[in-house]
C-alpha cells in the first residue's frame, strides 16, 4: 500500500466510504454509543493516509445520523468535524429516528439534538442528496416544531438534486409544512423526489415544484396535476399506509410527457388496484415495469381488463417492458400482455419455469410465412411474429416445486434465439430484416436454487446454450447466463 500513488489510494478510500463517511446509528440497549466513522479511521492510520484523506473533502460529505437521545448529542463534535473537513463539497445526508421530547419543547436533550440538526440546516446550501425520515416522530403531540429555526434558517438548497421524505401521518404543524414548502420552492435543481405518502395538508408544500422523477406510495391524489413536469413515476400500490378509497370514483390520471412508469404491487387488494391502471392515460410512455412483491400470490387475470384499458386508451409507443411476477403469471396471460406492445424492443421477464414450458417461446419464434398475427394493434405491426422489433431479451427463471417436471426446454430457447438472428450465409438465411429485427442481447438469470439438482441442471443449460450460440457471437449477439446461490440448508 505504501507504494500506491496518492491518486490510487484516494480511489480506494472513496470506495471504502462510498455509502457513508460517518454513521451515528441507533443501537439497543440505549446506553451504548454506536458510531461508524470510516473516513476518520482512515485519517488516523498514518500521516500519509491522513494527508490524502484530508485533501479529499468528498470523503467527509456523506453522513447518516439517527437523532436518538443522548446518542446524537455525544456525536455533535464529530458532525462538526465532518462538516468542517468536507469544506464546500456537496452533502449526502440521511436524518432519521427523531425521538419524542419527554419534557415537551423545553426538554434539554431535545433542544441539544435540535442544535445538532441546526448544524446540518445551516449547511443546506450544500445539500445534494437528502433522506429525511420522521415516520416515528411524535413531538407534534406536545407542540414541538421539528424545524424550530426555520424562520431564521431559510432552506435555500441550490445543489439539492434528490429528496427522500418518509413522513409521519401527523405531520401537520404549519411551521414545518411551510419550511418544507420553502425548501421545495428554493431547491432549483431538485428533480428527484421519494415520498412515503401525501395528504391534503402536505400537498401545499409541493406547489411550484420542478420534480421530474417521483417514487411514491399511495394512489389517492392526482399525481400528474401536483407534479406537472413529471417524466418518471415509480408508485407502490396497496401499502398499508395508503388510505383506502374503495368505492370512490377513481381519478383520471393523464399525462402527455411521462416516459417511464414502474408499478409495484404490494397487496392482494386488487379491487383497489385495478381502477388505478384503467385510469391511466399515458400517450408518451416508452418504458413500463410491473413488479409484484415477493411472496405475494395474486390473480393477475383480474388485472388484465384494466391493463388492457390502459393500453387501448393510451396507445403508448412502448419500447421497454419488465415484469417480475413471482408465481402469479401464466404463459397465456404473459402472451396477452405482450400482444399489446407491438413496438417493444427490450423485454425482461422474471417468471416461474412453467411459463417457459407452456409455449411462450414458440410464440416468440420467427417462422417465415407464419399466418399468426398479434391479437392487438396489428395495424401498427408489419410482421406476423410476436414482438417483431425485439432486440434485447432478459429471462429470469424461478423454479417451481418439481424441477424435473417443469424444466424449460433448452432446444426451444435456442430455436427462438436462432430464428431472430440473421445467418452469415445468405443462401440459408430465411430471416427477413424488414419484418423482424435481429436479437442482439440475451440474458438468462437463475438467481436462486433450493437444492443441488437445480444447480446441476442450470450449469448444464449454461454450457449447452453457450456452445450452441457460439457461432452467433461474432454476428452481433451477446449472451450472458448468471447463476445465483444454492440454499445453505440444502445438500
Are the CB atoms for 158 and 133 separated by under 8 Å? Answer: no
The values of phi and psi at residue 445, to 5°, are -115, 130
Question: What's the first-to-final CA gap in the chain, in angstroms?
Answer: 41
How far is Cα 319 from Cα 380, in angstroms, rounded to an integer? 13
Phi/psi at 50 (nearest 5 deg)?
A: -60, -45
- Enter the C-alpha cell of residue 345: 424492443
Distance, CA of 271 to CA of 64 (rounded, Å): 39
Q: Please choose, from the candidates 291, 318, 295, the residue with its C-alpha nearest in 3D space to the C-alpha of residue 234.
A: 291
As a whole number of angstroms, the distance between CA 94 and CA 65 comes to 6
Q: Give pLDDT tens digits for 270-314.
A: 888 888 899 999 999 999 999 988 777 788 888 899 999 999 999
Alpha-carbon torsion, ordered 105, 107, 112, 113, to 10 deg: -70
| pLDDT for residue 70 | 66
Grid cell, residue 154, equals 431559510
Q: Which three cell numbers stand for residue 304?
A: 388484465
Q: Which pLDDT value is given to residue 212? A: 96
What is the percent of the chain with per-residue pLDDT over 90, rounded to a whole number?
Answer: 32
Place of cell 410527457: 257
CA–CA dist 98, 487 (Å, integer): 38
d(CA 340, CA 68): 52
CA torsion sign, 296 to 301 to 306 to 308? positive
Full-model pTM: 0.83
Would you list the domain boundaries of the chain? 320-491
Query: For residue 428, how many other CB atoms are within 10 A of its CB?
Result: 8
Nearby residues of 200 by Cβ (< 8 Å), 6 or more positions away:
none
Supply the DSSP string of 56-87, one letter for each residue.
-GGGGSEEEEE--TTHHHHTHHHHHHHHHHTT
pLDDT in tens, 196-226: 766 666 677 787 889 999 998 866 678 898 8
Per-residue pLDDT band at 401 (split at 50, 70, 90)? low
**Cα of 396 vs its chain's centroid, Å:** 18
Where do the DSSP E strands lie in 117-206?
Answer: 127-133, 162-166, 192-195
pLDDT band at 130 (very low <50, low <70, confident <90, very high): very high
The 10s digit of each residue's pLDDT in 66-120 is 877 666 777 889 999 999 999 999 999 998 866 666 666 667 777 777 888 888 8
User: Are 465 and 479 within 8 A, CB to CB?
Assistant: yes
Contacts with 385 (C-beta within 8 Å, 6 or more apart), sequence order? 364, 365, 366, 367, 370, 372, 435, 436
pLDDT (tens digit per residue) in 5-31: 888 888 888 888 878 899 887 665 555
Q: How many angstroms separate the CA atoms of 275 and 310, rounded?
A: 10
CA distance 248 to 225: 19
Amino acid at each position: 500500500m505504501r507504494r500506491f500513488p496518492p491518486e490510487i489510494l484516494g480511489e480506494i478510500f472513496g470506495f471504502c466510504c462510498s455509502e457513508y463517511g460517518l454513521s451515528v446509528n441507533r443501537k439497543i440497549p440505549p446506553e451504548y454509543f454506536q458510531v461508524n466513522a470510516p473516513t476518520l479511521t482512515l485519517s488516523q492510520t498514518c500521516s500519509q493516509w491522513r494527508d490524502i484523506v484530508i485533501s479529499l473533502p468528498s470523503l467527509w460529505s456523506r453522513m447518516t445520523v439517527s437523532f436518538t437521545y443522548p446518542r446524537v448529542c455525544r456525536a455533535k463534535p464529530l458532525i462538526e468535524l465532518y462538516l468542517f473537513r468536507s469544506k464546500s463539497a456537496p452533502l449526502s445526508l440521511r436524518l432519521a429516528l427523531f425521538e419524542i421530547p419527554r419534557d415537551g419543547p423545553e426538554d434539554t436533550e431535545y433542544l441539544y439534538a435540535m442544535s445538532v440538526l441546526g448544524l446540518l440546516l445551516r449547511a443546506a446550501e450544500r445539500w445534494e442528496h437528502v433522506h429525511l425520515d420522521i415516520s416515528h416522530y411524535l413531538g407534534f403531540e406536545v407542540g414541538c416544531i421539528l424545524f424550530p429555526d426555520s424562520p431564521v434558517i431559510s432552506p435555500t438548497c441550490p445543489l439539492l438534486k434528490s429528496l427522500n421524505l418518509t413522513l409521519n401521518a401527523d405531520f401537520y404543524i404549519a411551521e414545518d409544512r411551510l419550511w418544507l414548502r420553502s425548501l421545495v420552492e428554493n431547491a432549483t435543481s431538485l428533480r428527484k423526489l421519494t415520498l412515503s405518502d401525501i395528504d391534503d395538508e402536505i400537498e401545499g408544500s409541493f406547489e411550484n415544484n420542478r420534480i421530474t422523477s417521483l417514487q411514491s406510495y399511495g394512489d389517492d391524489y392526482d399525481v400528474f396535476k401536483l407534479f406537472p413536469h413529471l417524466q418518471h413515476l415509480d408508485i407502490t400500490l396497496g401499502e398499508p399506509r395508503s388510505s383506502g378509497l374503495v368505492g370512490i370514483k377513481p381519478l383520471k390520471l393523464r399525462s402527455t410527457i411521462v416516459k417511464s412508469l414502474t408499478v409495484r404491487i404490494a397487496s392482494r387488494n386488487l379491487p383497489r388496484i385495478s381502477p388505478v391502471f384503467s385510469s391511466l392515460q399515458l400517450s408518451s410512455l416508452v418504458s413500463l415495469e410491473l413488479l409484484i412483491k415477493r411472496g405475494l400470490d395474486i390473480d393477475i387475470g383480474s388485472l388484465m381488463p384494466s391493463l388492457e384499458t390502459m393500453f387501448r386508451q393510451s396507445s403508448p409507443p412502448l419500447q421497454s417492458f419488465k415484469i417480475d411476477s413471482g408465481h402469479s403469471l401464466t404463459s397465456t396471460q404473459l402472451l396477452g400482455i405482450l400482444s399489446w406492445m407491438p413496438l417493444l424492443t427490450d423485454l425482461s421477464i422474471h417468471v416461474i419455469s412453467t411459463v417457459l414450458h407452456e409455449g411462450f417461446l414458440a410464440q416468440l419464434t420467427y417462422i417465415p410465412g407464419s399466418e399468426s398475427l398479434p391479437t392487438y394493434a396489428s395495424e401498427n405491426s408489419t410482421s406476423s411474429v410476436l414482438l417483431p422489433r425485439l432486440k434485447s431479451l432478459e429471462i429470469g427463471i424461478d423454479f417451481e416445486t418439481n424441477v424435473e417436471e417443469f424444466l424449460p426446454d433448452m432446444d426451444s430457447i435456442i430455436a427462438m434465439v436462432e430464428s431472430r438472428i440473421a445467418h452469415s450465409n445468405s443462401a440459408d438465411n430465411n430471416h427477413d430484416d424488414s419484418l423482424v429485427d435481429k436479437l442482439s442481447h440475451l440474458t438468462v438469470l437463475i438467481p436462486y436454487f433450493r437444492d443441488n439438482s437445480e444447480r446441476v441442471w442450470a450449469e448444464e443449460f449454461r454450457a449447452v446454450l453457450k456452445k450452441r450460440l457460439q457461432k452467433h457471437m461474432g454476428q452481433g449477439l451477446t449472451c450472458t447466463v448468471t447463476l445465483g446461490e444454492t440454499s445453505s440448508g440444502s445438500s
